[in-house]
Amino acid sequence: MNISIHKTNKPKINKTFLDELTQKLKEIEENISKKDFKSILNQFLNEKNFEHPGLNYLPSRKQIYSINNTLKTAVCVQTGHFGMFYYDLFKLNYLYKHKFINQAIIICPTLYTSFYQNNVITIEKVMEETDDFKNQIDIPILTIGVE
């Protein structure tokens, strides 16, 4: 699987973890289903001591993606409707402002991913939105697009 990376607000992701994550992404078959893609990533994150779903950090009791308290990093695997991206972005920013995490990783498809569909968030859309609103988005984010 090919990957591309985009940074917003200078994330400082642990190099060892990032190398392992990118290697895992490259090992995933290109024509995999969305469900299997998420399952493989969730298993990998569990092996790396990421809580999945994350603890109830939010006042609304909504559970959130995968969080590693040692790395102070949240990983959000986005393969759904682009509208949910904004909701997750607000949750990530909340966690950052309340010092639960220091940065986030968003993993999403590109326009050329086999499971891409209309209205699905893509790295192209994340790049556009995070660049447009980088002064309002405090959290450092590393976005990884897979195809």
pLDDT above 80 for 58: no
What would the two tokens of residue 9 be?
């607000």
What is the band of 57 on the pLDDT scale with cuts at 50, 70, 90? low
> What ranges in 5-122 are assigned the alpha helix state H?
15-27, 34-47, 82-97
What is the band of 55 on the pLDDT scale with cuts at 50, 70, 90? low
Would you call the peptide bond into 109 cis, given omega within 30 degrees of 0 as the criterion?
no
- The percentage of residues in the chain with a pLDDT greater than 90, rounded to a whole number, is 29
At residue 51, the pLDDT reads: 79
What would the two tokens of residue 113 be?
């991913």
| Listed residue (21, 93, 100) closest to 55, CA to CA | 100
Domains (range + CATH), the chain: 3-146 (3.40.91.20)
Report the SS3 class of residue 1.
coil
